[in-house]
Structure 1
Amino acid sequence: MTTPLSEPAPAVLRPHAEDAYARELDALAKGDTLARPPRWNLSPQAVTTYLLGGRAADGTEITPKYIGPRRLIEVAVATLATDRALLLLGVPGTAKSWVSEHLAAAVSGDSTLLVQGTAGTSEESMRYGWNYAQLLAHGPSREALTSSPLMTAMAAGKVARIEELTRIPADVQDTLITILSEKTLPIPELGDEVQAVKGFTVIATANDRDRGVNDLSSALRRRFNTVVLPLPASAEDEVRIVSRRVEELGRTLELPDVPAAQQEIRRVVTVFRELRSGLTEDGRTKLKSPSGTLSPAEAISVLTGGIALAAHFGDGTLRPHDVAAGILGAVVKDPSADPVVWREYLETVVRSRDGWSGFYEACRELSA
């Protein structure tokens, strides 16, 4: 059944970066008079402005996509302008995939050339596969060949993305070595090859929690420049990150308006930072840390869920009991050890903290 032409296209739940931020990218491109590497849509300086925020030449406000050290983004962008691939490394929730997507959108205008790394990622996903109907009917030919995102990026001079590189089996990882060093992808079945066009590069991401899963070989690691994305350095930075993403997600999901609750955002961020570091904000009390990472991404999820609860089942204001269940679910990942860590934190820190009695009671009720 086809949709009548008179009906509007359905709203996409999560637009690609190049679509969601098309106005900003267009404004930057129109006012960008600086030198651009081959097939880049923007100059390196404009790409950096797109990631970190600022203003385009016509005054258009460019919202920050990443809040963190400027030098890290400059190093990442400079790497993409060379013949080196870029590896974004960090603990889960440090915006590696987010930065990767926005870098690809700014450089190539296309963030969709993506290989999702898993234990089941095959060599065909990295190189090419075959349309078996065409193969049986006409034999090996370019028409029967199905391009991987990497092959497509090589031929078009664009950025290819690989998510969770260390989740991919080691023998499949090594198919990248020839691509990254020789900038060519052999097709022995056809006695042919695909040579990378200028502008081609690769951005990969990996969690440093995955060390030992499928470690990169030294030969492959040498093909990458590694940029480590840290957790936010200060509580203020983390609150800014979480606030901005919660607001954006609320608009995307079309959640009913809930008055901005900076108090609850700061509370969630404080809990996560203290448990993550094993130390209270004032530095006076040492804490046990739970098994999870408690990253800004998880804080965003807790607060978005809390807003949905407040909007649909509460009085329209985000309150402590709206975020308590989400925090409990984020902290308690290991059912044997984490409940002890959480109860100890509640009793030694939260219980006596000024202004936190409502949060303490809500958490106690859920933990009982």
Structure 2
Amino acid sequence: MSANLASTPSRTAAPHPGESAAALRPHAEDAFAGELAALAAQDDRPRPARWKLSPWAVATYLLGGTLPDGTVISPKYVGPRRIVEVAVTTLATDRALLLLGVPGTAKTWVSEHLAAAVSGDSTLLVQGTAGTPEEAIRYGWNYARLLAHGPSRDALVPSPVMRAMAEGRTARVEELTRIPADVQDTLITILSEKTLPVPELGEEVQAVRGFNLIATANDRDRGVNDLSSALRRRFNTVVLPLPESAEAEVDIVTRRVEQIGRSLDLPAAPDGKTEIRRVVTVFRELRDGLTGDGRTKVKSPSGTLSTAEAISVVTGGLALAAHFGDGVLRPADVAAGILGAVVRDPAADRVVWQEYLETVVREREGWTDFYRACREVSA
């Protein structure tokens, strides 16, 4: 016997009087609703059951392009096309998708946009932590109803995964390797048998066509809660690499900063590209342990210095320039953010940063203002 879950309540709370209804960070399906609608209108290719778009259109949504009617689809992911194609194709099969990579390689971002394009709903999410309980993946109970009336359908609280199974949608599990191993393994039956038993009711929830699951995991978390071989076999693993070139990373940071800046009503920085390029250069050189020209080896700090952190540094600098400057992004606006990203270990990382400033930044032509700003905040 299979359980039929109740319809999902609205996820958007009503604003207080006088407040704007605009979300600070809209879900992907809301922020890019126009692009998704334009793709759906012109998408005449076969669609898997309950998919909002065909696999080709999902890939176009992530990678960007121009539709026959002239509609421009902005790229959500800048990287190898084949990676996106493999990820999308995996979701059209009976295998779940595991996005693996170092911090800041857009795993969560890609996961959200895949779910939005496939199911039109990116909110069926389980956030993995060391304290994630089994109920977050399977189901829980409304204990007031459970104590009053015993186990019943009304007392059952479905997890996002259970809801995705019943509705034929895409569920997401973030930071899978942060979840305790015994909780991780509750996914084995779900992914292999496509069913979730509810023994308290003598029922089960069977996944309907369209259901699949996207998980993300961090390369740096190896050894924390490694996936069992049984669970790993249920996933097709796609590794998201760091941007191949400085130009690609500058492009990613610029696009995301513009999007975030618009959502925060920050003015566009007319000369921001220069400082973005400098931030990206510093992060890449410290991350790689080598200057861009390949001539000088440098020590790497303990932090990841990811693209996501570069986006955060530039966004913070843009806010400083807007509220406490003349609106032009300058070295002084990003210097403190760079220091905070690089120096995670006050003892070891500060030495690495000071050495990099003096041996690389100080000698670089055209970087005198950047060197002075970084020296001032590092003193």
- TM-score by length of structure 1 reads 0.98
Partner of 2:128: 117
The residue identity in structure 2 corresponding to 1:13 is L
The 5-angstrom pairing of residues 124-143 of structure 1 reads 124-143=135-154
- Unpaired segments of 5 or more residues in structure 1? none
> Which among 260, 263, 267 is matched to residue 252 of structure 1?
263
The 5-angstrom pairing of residues 1-368 of structure 1 reads 9-368=20-379
Is the contact made by 1:51 and 1:103 (CA closer than 8 Å) also made in structure 2?
A: yes
Deviation for aligned residue 1:367:
1.2
Rate the CA distance shift 1:365–1:12 in 2: closer, same or farther, 3 A.
Answer: same
Deviation for aligned residue 1:4:
9.5
Deviation for aligned residue 1:60:
1.1
The residue identity in structure 2 corresponding to 1:203 is I
- For 1:365 and 1:4, the matched residues in 2 are separated by 43
- For 1:56 and 1:180, the matched residues in 2 are separated by 36
The residue identity in structure 1 corresponding to 2:330 is R
Residue 146 of structure 1 aligns to a residue in which SS?
A: strand
Percent of matched pairs sharing the same residue: 78
- For 1:316 and 1:191, the matched residues in 2 are separated by 63
Residue 189 of structure 1 aligns to a residue in which SS?
A: coil
- For 1:155 and 1:7, the matched residues in 2 are separated by 38
Partner of 2:9: none
Deviation for aligned residue 1:170:
0.3
Is the contact made by 1:32 and 1:57 (CA closer than 8 Å) also made in structure 2?
A: no
- Unpaired segments of 5 or more residues in structure 2? 1-12
The residue identity in structure 2 corresponding to 1:363 is C
The residue identity in structure 2 corresponding to 1:111 is S
- TM-score by length of structure 2 reads 0.95
Deviation for aligned residue 1:5:
10
**1:148-176 per-position Cα deviation (integer Å, ceiling 9, x unaligned):** 00000000000000000000000000000
Residue 86 of structure 1 aligns to a residue in which SS?
A: strand
**1:254-291 per-position Cα deviation (integer Å, ceiling 9, x unaligned):** 11343242111100000000000000010000110001
Rate the CA distance shift 1:270–1:186 in 2: closer, same or farther, 3 A.
Answer: same
**1:80-103 per-position Cα deviation (integer Å, ceiling 9, x unaligned):** 000000000000000000000000
Deviation for aligned residue 1:10:
2.3
Count of aligned residue pairs for this structure pair: 367
Provide runs of 4+ in structure 1 moved above 6 Å. 2-6
The residue identity in structure 2 corresponding to 1:244 is R
**1:48-77 per-position Cα deviation (integer Å, ceiling 9, x unaligned):** 000000123432110000000000000000
Residue 200 of structure 2 aligns to a residue in which SS?
A: helix
